[in-house]
Chain A
């Protein structure tokens, strides 16, 4: 079943009309997902000043490696010399609005992406298109690959923001590729075909498959065999394949991440395979810099690169920020060390949370990437339905005071799964959260409630 666009009724006569897009609900902010955010906003945890507040575990931010970035800046003043003495540097940079992007920055991005993939894939800087965040990159690609009313196939569970990013202003629909815990939520060939057939049966024109690898919310990489199958499927149906790889640098071990770029290179890159493939990347997760709005589209299709570049005019990256990151990412010694250290720290955090949850009798999907784990509270549900899941979630937000994300907001077909972020807080706060969860689960198992 497709995820339907919701529309509000037209405003009453006399009131000023806005566009259909403006009044639709496809921005998705009225979903229960955001109720947890509101609870957090109203009562945010603070170690010292508000130790009983709500702990934010719904935000996939990477805060574990800032010291490495700060250290780099302390020792590399050229990143700060924008405006410091180098007259030509400041002026040119302040005026620079070319949608090709700073060449040095594109080059640095390309080499960073290569390093993340252990050199197993090459990236041509001239195929990199810059956008203000992956949010913009995903929407922009959708504008290019699909017409309004067309469909993209997306494996569930998926990042709730896709409902807005891919559908809201584009008018494109999402048809889910259902995945199940029975095989660890891996994408299967039959699921791909089922989704496609579902779309066709409803007269929807399928334009592409969009996968997130590593997956949000699963926190796990897509296996090589599955990637091969997905690419074959895309070739067979003559549709596009978008691989959102924004968590690629957050895989706990380099060897475990296989990029679609590697699959293409290993196939000897037949043109008809390549030109349907597009990769989305960002520095928001791997570098922990969501505020800087750095997204990229890497496409093997020349027409897509040209058009995406033109469209990026609406969403360019600040030249000041391009300059800073060009400095940082051009330093290959720094980036190699960063990637390695960041991975290790995320793995350690992951181990801590998994162990803590296990002590509480809670199992998670075996993960190997990302800033979160995919937790199974199915056994605790009073009823194995979406309502049962939301009821339990309400309890957790309200009484345990943890904002975690319910699987239903990620369109998971099985109730009881929750995404829990672990990299956006200190270790001490993580311990507090685990402790609260442990006590809640014990109580809940005994009495069926949280009191």
Chain B
């Protein structure tokens, strides 16, 4: 960024690109913003399928709020609490809020584990919580290992103001993107070779974008790996209650591993383990900015709590949620119904895709999205091929989906497609469009989709490099003609001028 002569400069942090907004990921948003879908007003608009929101149970929450006016401090029934709540800024948080959140976390994990309210630290959404835990665990220049594909904003959340490096632990479809020990070791060694100290491993479980849950054995081996290397393990469990197939058996929280291995500190040191949680996905309330750091390490709880001053949850919101989440009957119904609706929605959507020969990652059992395999549609098995296909999907099929490259996926051709941020009618329209697109292509009806053809995936050896560097010097130029590239990051593109739903968690 250039400074005008005579003007005072900003910091390096303010002028670097680590905010991540100049990624091609946001082109789809631009298209959506320019012409968003509406069932009656704009039936040919772009459908937003890049936003991992859970809109399926907001009606239940709204009903609860209507029936419980005392939970609001603005209603006649709740006004008597206004002053006390408005004054409460203690960074410990409202005790009854912490208790209610702890209980909710327990219920969301099938009551298989207990959570101590005293270990709950608030963060400004999961975004704030992830940054906070990173500040507690790592110094400027240290490294965190993060299995790929991963949520794009981890680069910003874990690395922008903290200046921590993200080293991806590459996973691929040969084993359904499971995290392997060799992949961990490779990433660890890579960091060490470049002179960075690895301070932690961050896992998202359930995974965004995969929608998979870690099985117990893998989870235990990750805990063992961290314990062996004396690095921290941060488990981002914000999708814990979005498990729609057999929630109780499918999702294993890292809390269970701690519970079961308490007697074996060589394999499981609780002081190394921290959970990040939020209500943005499980409850569909991203606007309320409820992030949680739950740490088994006392020093981290103490330090984290102090740091939470920079991102406390509004006391008005704490008060509301304390009441709501203490309503055990409601919580029980909500979790059951949410899981059922998500399962139904996921089932309908994935079957709709299957009918036109589109497969999604089969091991998915959670999340608000599918991880769709379009490798067979790539003209070339490369990121260029993926982005070319993606441009077609955004501009011609008019669906904003998220290309795998923005999740640092090493295999081109995968796309994350969200299905829970819309009503059923809209989802049907999306499926129709996909059907028409596929069928049109198969029929060779002269559509102008010259970028896309049916391609056999490369047999045998993969074409892409093992430690793939992304370089788009020749592929993309920003509208201002500015081009740059950086290893391990997407090439910058012109920033999206405005988006109504830009950037907290998506």
Residues of chain A touching chain B, judged by Cβ–Cβ distance below 8 Å, are: 16-23, 27, 29, 61, 63, 66, 69-70, 73-74, 77, 79-80, 82-85, 87, 90-91, 93-100, 132-133, 135-136, 139, 143-148, 150, 164-165, 168-169, 207-208, 238-240, 272, 275-276, 284, 288-293, 303-304, 307, 310-311, 313-321, 324
Contact = CB atoms under 8 A, between A and B. Distances in A.
Interface of B: 1, 6-8, 10-15, 19, 21, 53, 55, 58, 61-62, 65-66, 69, 72, 74-76, 79, 82-83, 85-89, 124-125, 127-128, 131, 135-140, 142, 156-157, 160-161, 199, 230, 232, 269, 271-272, 280, 284-289, 297, 299-300, 303, 306-307, 309-317, 320, 498-505
A19 B500 CA distance: 36
A321 B316 contact: yes
B314 A22 contact: no
Contacts of B285: 94-95
Given A97-B280, A97-B505, 19 more contacts: A19-B135, A22-B136, A63-B87, A70-B82, A94-B61, A94-B288, A99-B504, A100-B498, A136-B310, A143-B13, A143-B14, A164-B309, A169-B135, A290-B87, A307-B15, A315-B128, A315-B310, A318-B289, A319-B288
Given A19-B138, A320-B316, A320-B317, A98 B65 contact: no
Given A16-B272, A83-B65, A22 B72 contact: no
A36 to B, nearest CB: 16
Contacts of B82: 66, 69-70, 73
17 contacts: A18-B300, A19-B138, A82-B74, A85-B66, A91-B58, A94-B288, A95-B53, A97-B286, A100-B502, A136-B124, A238-B7, A240-B8, A288-B86, A291-B85, A291-B89, A307-B19, A320-B287
Contacts, number: 259
A320 B7 CA distance: 38
Contacts of B161: 143, 169, 311, 314
Nearest to B288: A318
B317 A316 contact: no
Contact of A82 (B72, B142, B157, B299): B72
Contact of A74 (B79, B137, B157): B79
B289 A316 contact: yes
B307 A313 contact: no
Nearest to A169: B135
Nearest to B131: A314
Contacts of B85: 291
A303 B10 contact: yes
A317 B55 contact: no
B395 to A, nearest CB: 24
A146 B125 CA distance: 26
Nearest to B63: A83
Contacts of B309: 133, 135, 164
Contact of A96 (B136, B284, B287): B287
Identify the 10 closest CB pairs spanning chains A and B, nearest first: A291-B315, A319-B287, A83-B65, A80-B74, A97-B504, A318-B314, A290-B89, A97-B286, A291-B88, A144-B14
Given A95-B287, A147-B13, A314-B131, A321 B87 contact: no
B72 A83 contact: yes
Nearest to B153: A313
Contacts of B138: 19
Contacts of A20: 139
A74 to B, nearest CB: 7
Contact of B317 (A84, A96, A318): A318
A315 B65 CA distance: 25
A315 B311 contact: yes
B136 A19 contact: yes
Given A82-B72, A85-B66, A313 B269 contact: no
A249 to B, nearest CB: 16
Contacts of B320: 320
Which interface residue of A23, A275, A303 has the most chain B CB atoms within 10 A? A303
Contacts of A132: 124, 289, 310-312, 314
A93 B287 contact: yes
A368 B138 CA distance: 45
A136 B124 CA distance: 10
B398 to A, nearest CB: 22
Contacts of A208: 8
Nearest to B499: A98
A99 B503 CA distance: 7
A314 B293 CA distance: 14
Nearest to B21: A310
B371 to A, nearest CB: 23
B75 A80 contact: yes
Which interface residue of A99, A147, A284, A316 has the most chain B CB atoms within 10 A? A316
A135 B303 CA distance: 16
B10 A145 contact: yes
B316 A310 contact: no
Given A97-B286, A132-B124, A293-B314, A19 B72 contact: no
Which interface residue of B269, B500, B503 has the most chain A CB atoms within 10 A? B503
A95 B83 CA distance: 27
B502 A91 contact: no
A19 B503 CA distance: 27
A301 to B, nearest CB: 8
Contacts of B19: 307, 310-311
A435 B467 CA distance: 74
Contacts of B89: 133, 284, 290-291, 293
Which interface residue of B53, B139, B287 has the most chain A CB atoms within 10 A? B287
A139 B310 contact: yes
Contacts of B11: 143-147, 150, 207
Contact of B287 (A97, A146, A292): A97
Given A98-B502, A307-B14, A238 B289 contact: no
Contacts of A316: 124-125, 289, 504
Given A69-B82, A99-B503, A272-B7, A324 B286 contact: no
Contacts of A290: 86-89
Contacts of B313: 293, 318
B124 A291 contact: no
A318 B136 contact: no
Contacts of A313: 124-125, 127-128, 156, 503-504
Given A288-B86, A292-B314, A80 B137 contact: no
Contact of A29 (B76, B306, B311): B306
B480 to A, nearest CB: 15
Contacts of B61: 94
A314 B87 contact: no
Contacts of B136: 18-19, 21-22
